[in-house]
Chain A
Amino acid sequence: MLQSLTGLALALFMWLHMGFVSAILISEDVAWAVARFFEGYFFLPRPQAWLVSSFVAVISLLFALHALLALRKFPADWRQYRIAATHGSRLRHGDTVLWFVQVATGFAMFFLAPVHLYAMFMHPDLIGPYASADRVWTGGFWPLYLALLFAVEVHGSVGLYRLAVKWGWFEGGDARASRRRLKIAMWGLIAFLLTLGLTTLMAEIRMGVEHAPRAGERYVPTWQRGVTAAEEAR
């Protein structure tokens, strides 16, 4: 049950995460405001980047706990791997294949996610329009994010579908019909999140390429530019 709970929490968090990062598609100012909001910029006397680090630590712990619990279900030895592979290929059964997808994407995330989490934990202040774009392009993170995007969105959406059928959520009077609907929703969710994620990543890459000569420069929101210029003139 703990595996289900941690998985649910992580999957829902990743929806929010996608919402936050895709703010760059609206405008650079919105992306800047979202990033600063989590540092307490709008409600504390001074922004506190450690708030973001703390949240990253909580997510990392949830991720580690979920991975630890999920490991119980992985094939444990060569015999089990061989049985699972033979069984899966012969059976031609959709939900069994989905579980293999979960194992593969989960395994990929063991290695991909910690790189991102560590970077966010150590440099929580480097989240923002220019800082993120510099990390993506100049910092060479874009291949990692591309792989992570597919792994996370597929794993999360398939995981939510599997949670629903595992615990009997939204089952109604006709379990077969509701399962068909849940599966359609799962594919729809994967398509939507991948489209949004790829569009966001493309926007970050484009901005990173343009900003590469000035990599390291921090973004100043439009409403503060006059103030900053005046301060510099003084």
Chain B
Amino acid sequence: MSRRLKISVFRHNPRDPQSVPRLVDYELDEQPGMTLFIALNAIRDTQAPDLNFDFVCRAGVCGACAMVVDGRPGLACRTLTNTLPDAFSLYPLPVFRLVADLSVDTGRWMRELAERLQTWVHLEAEPELDRLEARMEPALAEGVYELDRCIECGCCIAACATAQMREGFVGAVGLNKIARFRLDPADTRADADFYELIGSDEGIFGCMSLLACNDLCPKELPLQTQLAWLRRKMAGQGIRWLRRR
């Protein structure tokens, strides 16, 4: 016999002056293999046609459907309802600009982060497009690719107490990007350049190692390892500067 689910959904449209932030309860019968994507579509089809939420790929690749599920950030398309209790809540991700209901604008935040941290390969000279790229060891290429799997869903930011308390903190998504470019031999930046970007309390030294980012990353990126590695590199750079002075 299927369960009757009671889902309390955060509802608010900031563009509507009459809208008041509130939780609205929706009930529906759980189906075998039901994901939150299916459940939310069922609610929108039968109970709340104006409910806002984002989905694109439905396969955990785009990161658009990230939301706070029963208190923990996660991807709705990858969350099976049978892993949740009979009654649970859905909230939009904190920190990011609320579009409406469960929909947030992670794009603007991520774009500003990318510009601030200069998350692109920095070359000393213009690349010669008619020449083959420099070869890279497979293990190193795998390492770079592993960190490139980040889909910028925002779950690590929503899971991080520091990111929520301190507005300027770049979070695991930003630090992971720096780790990716630090690893990439094509990027000519030195540790001193990376230190300028993240060698502060808004960067790696602001991270309190609560590791919720690592534990709740939907892509299971090795954030604990990367943050520790980056911390050691940046601490080493800081010590080198102190010695020179």
In the complex, chain B residues whose CB is within 8 Å of the CB of A91: 71-72, 159, 212
B161 near A84 (CB under 8 angstroms)?
yes
In the complex, chain B residues whose CB is within 8 Å of the CB of A1: 205, 235, 238
Distance of A73 Cα from B205 Cα, bound (Å) = 10
> Among the listed stretches A21-29, A40-48, A161-169, which one makes contact with chain B, having 4 or more residues with CB under 8 Å of it?
A161-169
In the complex, chain B residues whose CB is within 8 Å of the CB of A90: 68, 71-72
What is the minimal beta-carbon distance from A103 to any residue of chain B, in angstroms? 10
Distance of A166 Cα from B226 Cα, bound (Å) = 10
Distance of A45 Cα from B15 Cα, bound (Å) = 83
Interface digits, B224-245 against A, CB 8 Å rule (1 contact, 0 not)?
Answer: 1101110110010010000000
Contact of B188 with A by CB under 8 A: no
Distance of A96 Cα from B215 Cα, bound (Å) = 11
B71 near A88 (CB under 8 angstroms)?
no
What is the minimal beta-carbon distance from B216 to any residue of chain A, in angstroms? 8
Contact of A108 with B by CB under 8 A: no
Q: Which of A72, A80, A83, A95 contacts B210 (CB 8 A)?
A: A95
In the complex, chain A residues whose CB is within 8 Å of the CB of B228: 165-168, 171
Contact of B185 with A by CB under 8 A: no
Distance of A166 Cα from B227 Cα, bound (Å) = 8
**In residues 164-179 of chain A, which contact B (Cβ within 8 Å)?**
165-168, 171, 175, 179
In the complex, chain A residues whose CB is within 8 Å of the CB of B68: 90
Contact of B211 with A by CB under 8 A: yes
**In residues 154-197 of chain A, which contact B (Cβ within 8 Å)?**
162, 165-168, 171, 175, 179
Interface digits, A75-116 against B, CB 8 Å rule (1 contact, 0 not)?
Answer: 110001001100110111101100100000000000000000
Main secondary structure of the interface of A (DSSP, over half): helix
In the complex, chain B residues whose CB is within 8 Å of the CB of A165: 209, 211, 224, 228
Distance of A90 Cα from B235 Cα, bound (Å) = 33
Q: Which residue of B lies closest to A176 (CB)?
A: B224
Q: A73-B208, A171-B225, A171-B228 are in contact. Are A96 and B238 (CB under 8 A)?
A: no
B225 near A93 (CB under 8 angstroms)?
no
Q: Which residue of B lies closest to A89 (CB)?
A: B71
**In residues 170-214 of chain B, which contact A (Cβ within 8 Å)?**
201, 205, 207-212
In the complex, chain B residues whose CB is within 8 Å of the CB of A171: 225, 228
What is the minimal beta-carbon distance from B231 to any residue of chain A, in angstroms? 6
Q: Which of A76, A88, A92, A166 contacts B209 (CB 8 A)?
A: A166
Contact of B164 with A by CB under 8 A: yes
Distance of A104 Cα from B119 Cα, bound (Å) = 37
A84 near B209 (CB under 8 angstroms)?
no
Residues of A within 8 A of B (CB): 1, 72-73, 75-76, 80, 83-84, 87-88, 90-93, 95-96, 99, 162, 165-168, 171, 175, 179
5 contacts between A and B (CB under 8 A): A80-B165, A91-B72, A93-B72, A168-B224, A179-B224
4 smallest CB-CB distances across A and B, nearest first, come from: A168-B228, A90-B71, A166-B209, A80-B165
> What 17 additional pairs, Cβ within 8 angstroms, besides A93-B215, A175-B222?
A72-B201, A76-B165, A80-B166, A83-B165, A84-B165, A91-B72, A93-B212, A95-B210, A95-B212, A96-B210, A99-B210, A162-B209, A166-B228, A167-B228, A168-B232, A171-B225, A179-B224
